[in-house]
Amino acid sequence: MSPLGFGKKEEKHAETAKALSDLEQICENDKEAYEALYHTMILNPKKVDTSLKDAIENAKRFEKEKNMTRARIWYDIAGGLAIYEGNAKKVVELFSEAEKLSGIKYPILKNAEKAVVKAQEYYKKHLKTETVEA
């Protein structure tokens, strides 16, 4: 969800590719979970400078202002943060809103709980922090 940045595109691209490949390994027997997380999971949520609560407030504010593109982006960010927090119920709520606004289909809505469990495995391995269980 973050831009690659100037001067270090190749390095950041390699980091992202490695992280996605690690996610593939965690989801090796579950292609559906991998596809669900591929476009929705924030690989390093510690770099996101907003809270889940603030992201939801931003999404609702832009929705109220009829700026559906920005609202959808904030729902995506909030959904990614909910994945990190291990809150499958919130994941469904937030990505359902994003889907409603955009018409984009979110595979994570098919089985959010299973995808969140896989994401938690990834975070425990790569971020070395305690996360909330789903």
Average pLDDT over residues 96-124: 95
pTM value? 0.79
What does the alpha-carbon distance between residue 20 and residue 132 come to, in Å, rounded to a whole number? 22
The ranges assigned to domains in the chain are: 9-126
Mean pLDDT of the chain: 85
Q: What percent of the chain has pLDDT over 70?
A: 80
| pLDDT value at residue 29 | 82
Taking 60 as the threshold, does the pLDDT of residue 12 lie above it?
A: no
Q: Are 91 and 74 in contact (CB under 8 A)?
A: no
